[in-house]
Amino acid sequence: MDDLPLDTSHPAVRDFLTLTRLQVLTPLSLLINIAAVAVCSLILSPGLGEIARMYPTSLTPSPVFIGIYIAAVYIMQIGYCVVLILAHKSETKQALIKGSGLALVFSNWVMGFWAIAWSLKAFLVSSVLLGILIILLLYSNIVLYVYHPPVSSRPLDTAFIHAPLRLFLILPLTLLLPVSIFIAIHHYWQEGDTSAYNNYMWEGFGVLFGVNILGALFIAMRRDVVWTVGAAWLAASVWNKSPKSAPVSVRSSTLFPSIYM
């Protein structure tokens, strides 16, 4: 490294090199994520949504709702990539480098591998990958909140750095991982057996109640509109998919806006 014209031990140079790497790796990882999910959903048969219908659980959501949610996360990540390339404020660069950074790159890769595992019906592998995804996204969200909190003076940071990372986290944390675990431990019923929809209903209710309470506490403490919208949408996706047992079909999607307001 001594023959380089730059002093790579200098913090500013290291940040510049890190940002440059992220400007290449982040869009590439997002493209891989989108391609993997699109191929596994639209080209392979059965697709991701069809597999979810083949293994119905007490928490299985509406594939249409989840598809819209994932599309929104992708669109916001495209905005993130634009901010990543055009960022000029020091605070924004630090949030990108030390807040989200490589954690988002790895998260996109893991999401792509999860789509492949789900398509192969490797539900145990799927659950492990979703656990890794949650750890990565939880880490980046905590770092962003603690060291690079959203401020009104930088609305683009809030909209395209904090919001997509938050929405990305909510999906596996509150829904994908519980559904994957239920299927992995065979807590599902045969497709079309509507008489069995009460099976494992209290387990489903317990998970739904737990994640809703945690989400409600977070919204009450942080007044977080992103979590409010994301959690309400995912709650609606669960009760919109029928049939559902009575405890699980409670329409908790109105809980989050009520707490926020």
Token code pair at residue 58:
């007490």
Distance in angstroms (rounded) separating the CA atoms of residues 65 and 94: 34
Residues 6+ apart with CB under 8 A from 152: none
- State the pLDDT confidence band at 259, using cuts at 50, 70 and 90: low
Contact 238, 61 (CB under 8 A): yes
Predicted structure pTM score = 0.90
pLDDT surpassing 90 at residue 249: no
Chain segment 73-130, per-residue pLDDT in tens:
999 999 999 999 999 899 999 999 999 999 999 999 999 999 999 999 999 999 999 9
Q: Give the pLDDT mean for 230-236.
A: 89
If one compares 247 and 119, the residue with the highest pLDDT of the two is 119
What gap in Å lies between CA 168 and CA 173, rounded to an integer?
Answer: 9
Higher-pLDDT residue of 219 and 98 is: 98
